[in-house]
Amino acid sequence: MNGRDGDRVEYEPVSVKEVLGEMKDIAELLIDLSYSSVLFDSRELAAEVLELESEMDVLQLRARMSLVMAGRSPEEAEQLAPIFGIVGAAEKISDAAGDVAKVVLDDVGLPTALRASLPDPVETLARAELAADSAYAGRTLGAINLETETGVRVLAIRRGDDWVLNPDRETTLRGGDALLLRGPDDGVQGVYETVTGEAFEHPEAPESPIEDLDRAVETVVLMKNMSELAVDLAYGSVLFDDPELAREVSELEVEVDALQSRFEAWALRAAAEVDDPVTIRGLLHIAASTEVISDAALEISEGVLRGLGSHPVVQAAVEDSDEILVSVAVEPGSDLDGQTIREEALRTTTGMLVIAIRRQTDENGEPSGAGGSSDDGETDWLLTPDPGTTLRGGDTLIAKGTRTGAERLRGLAG
């Protein structure tokens, strides 16, 4: 796929399902890349965000054209209305990510000590251009076994004007490819050196004159994580036609709004304490963009939330996208029953990330077991469960990752 600003986009018959799937993949990648460009002060990552934003502009126009051609009756209009909302929401996510990246590219104003204030768990993202004489050139990702050996994943590849999103084991790397990498800092440093033949260096991070900058940065990271989770859950609500998931998206949107409000109060106090208040203007831009992303997630799930259900085309698009979402029931007595996420090392052994757990409880708040239905109980959601979370028979896991990983997860849960 490729597109450029100013190119004329004419109608052509396209698969709405495929376009929606591409838009979903790009939207999720843009969130990662845009915030990482800020947190790691990377103009290269920021530039890639704008390239992807241009791709999204073309995709959303093609999706809208195809949807207009498909609607011929009031009944069809009612069915297609939520799809227009999903297309518009993906575009809003793209635009918001572009605004975050422009904070870096346009020097809007960020504290120079930003990276020194990052919380430890944040992974590193980097852009690395594959040298023709690299040990990886001409080999498939499967042959390199990169993620297993280093913990580093290739999120996407830009090859000239084209993109390869979520490359798989069969993807062959070529000299000149621009690889977008994510993983632990030490792993990214080693892979970057092998890819480019050069050392990977972070910019110097001086001490900050701003009081509580680390707390402010943690708030931005939390807002980003919550917005990203909201987008995942929103697509999950569409895929599974699940109003409960849609309601969780609504709750997350409210929480992001509250975080943004507290962050703005911090920024106003900080502006009075620094010599140049402009240096924190970029953080306000980022907080505003994050709130837009959480609002867009709510728009994705709105059709389900309002009882309009999910159009089969949208469900198929989410199901067939490169990074899939799955709902997996944990059976009593299975390998996962009674084990923690850490003990089973689910992320390592399956490649799947558990983003939420649905747990039925009885009238006393205790897990109600397999099947999990209790007339007097209720459903509890555990969002972004930590590695110490114990899985139980009757739990339903919402996870994202590859199709192969999903099968491994089902095998452990069944």
* Statement: residue 112 has pLDDT above 70: no
pLDDT digit string, tens, across residues 42-81: 888 899 899 999 889 888 888 888 887 766 666 766 777 7
Residue 72 is predicted with a pLDDT of: 67
What integer pLDDT is reported at residue 374 of this predicted model? 43
Same domain, 370 and 295: no
Q: Is the pLDDT of residue 32 over 90?
A: no
Distance, CA of 193 to CA of 5 (rounded, Å): 33
| pLDDT bracket for residue 178 (50, 70, 90) | very high
> Which two structure tokens, joined as six digits, stand for 247?
């309601």
357: pLDDT strictly greater than 60: yes
Mean pLDDT of 233-259: 87
Q: Kindly report the CATH number assigned to the domain that includes residue 362.
A: 3.30.70.1450
Mean pLDDT confidence for 377-405 = 82
For residue 376, give its domain range.
323-413
Residue 323 and residue 167: Cα distance in Å, rounded?
A: 10
pTM, full prediction: 0.74
- pLDDT for the residue numbered 93: 94
Q: Is residue 6 part of a domain?
A: no
- 56 token code pair: 């999204």
Asked which of 317, 336, 355 is the last residue of a domain, the reply is 317
Of the candidates 260, 233, 238, 222, the residue with the CA atom closest to the CA atom of residue 381: 233
List, in sequence order, the alpha helices (H) in 161-212: 185-196
- Whether residue 330 sits in one domain with residue 390: yes
Shared domain for 137 and 36, answered yes or no, is: no
- pLDDT value at position 372? 43
| Predicted confidence (pLDDT) at residue 3 exceeds the cutoff of 60 | no
Q: Is residue 2 domain-resident?
A: no
| Domain contains 151 | yes
Distances (CA, A) of 271 to 123, 279, 290, 364: 29, 9, 21, 49
Same-domain check for residues 296 and 377:
no
Task: State the pLDDT at residue 342.
Answer: 84
Give the end of a domain, one of 196, 229, 259.
Answer: 196
Contact yes or no for 93/30 (Cβ under 8 A) = yes
Supply 368's token pair: 């109600």
Q: Does 192 have pLDDT greater than 90?
A: yes
CA-only gyration radius of the chain, Å: 22
| Torsion sign, CA atoms 202, 228, 225, 411 | negative
Asked if residue 10 is part of any domain, the answer here is: no
Q: Which residue has the tokens 């917005």?
A: 227
- Does residue 9 belong to any structural domain of this protein? no
Q: Is residue 169 part of a domain?
A: yes
pLDDT of 119 strictly over 60: no
Can you give the pLDDT at residue 110?
Answer: 73
> Does 337 map to a domain?
yes
**Farthest CA pair distance, the chain:** 65
Between residues 410 and 308, which one has the greater pLDDT? 410
pLDDT at 197: 94
Looking at 153-167, 266-280, 288-302, 333-347, which range is the least confident one? 266-280
Q: Do 263 and 336 reside in the same domain of the chain? A: no
Would you state the torsion angle of the CA atoms of residues 409, 139, 318, 182, taken in this order, to the nearest 10 degrees? 80
Q: What is the CATH number of the domain that holds 302?
A: 1.20.58.220
Phi, psi angles (nearest 5°) of residue 44: -65, -45
Higher pLDDT, 345 or 198: 198
Same domain membership, residue 215 and residue 140: no
Residues 307 and 216 in one domain: yes
Considering the domain architecture, whether residues 218 and 298 belong to the same structural domain is answered as yes
Q: Is the pLDDT of residue 217 over 80?
A: no
- Residue in this structure with the two tokens 């970057």, named with its chain if needed: 192
- Look at residue 371 and tell me whether its pLDDT is greater than 50: no
Cβ count within 10 A of residue 387: 13
Whole-number Å distance between alpha carbons of 340 and 271: 44
Q: C-alpha dihedral over 375, 381, 387, 392, to 10 degrees?
A: 10
pLDDT at residue 206 in the model = 53
Six token digits for residue 137:
């050139």
The residue with tokens 């930590």 is 386
Which letter does DSSP use for residue 171 in this model?
P
pLDDT of amino acid 2: 47
Distance (Å, whole) CA 313 – CA 58 = 20
Residue 175's closest CA among 204, 196, 155, 161?
A: 196
| pLDDT on residue 405 | 83
Q: Which of 317, 352, 372 is the last residue of a domain?
A: 317
> For residue 332, what pLDDT band results from cuts at 50, 70 and 90?
very high
Residue 332's CB: how many other CB atoms inside 10 A? 12
- Reported as a single tens digit per residue, the pLDDT across 263-290 is 888 888 877 777 777 877 888 888 889 8
E-strand ranges in 130-248 read 153-159, 162-165, 178-183
Total domains, the chain: 3
